[in-house]
């Protein structure tokens, strides 16, 4: 449990620091993955597996960020 929290904090910190030289698509996917991982970790902790929830949430969030960016570019 403590390792999972430390990993989430580390991933969150890296996500905030590394957005400087990214394209808008990469930024949207990164923000989606970060938000999805946070929400997935919270939801997963209720079922006893926060790590798996964070992993699945990050994947879904990255996909959502990509779709959001593509819909925004098509306007």
Question: What's the pLDDT tens digit per position in 25-41?
Answer: 988 898 899 899 999 99
Q: Write out the residue range of the structural domain in which residue 14 sits.
A: 2-73
In this prediction the pTM is 0.71
What distance lies between CA 28 and its chain's CA centroid?
A: 10
Confidence of residue 1 (pLDDT cuts 50, 70, 90): low
Is the per-residue pLDDT at 19 higher than 70?
no
Structurally, the chain folds into a number of domains equal to 1
- d(CA 51, CA 37) in angstroms, rounded, equals 9
Residue 33 has what pLDDT?
93
């Amino acid at each position: 449990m403590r390792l999972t929290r430390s990993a989430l904090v580390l991933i969150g910190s890296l996500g905030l620091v590394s957005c400087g030289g990214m394209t808008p698509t990469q930024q949207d996917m990164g923000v989606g993955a970060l938000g999805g991982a946070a929400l997935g970790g919270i939801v997963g902790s209720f079922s006893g597996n926060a790590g798996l929830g964070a992993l699945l949430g990050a994947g879904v969030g990255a996909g959502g960020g990509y779709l959001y960016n593509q819909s925004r570019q098509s306007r």
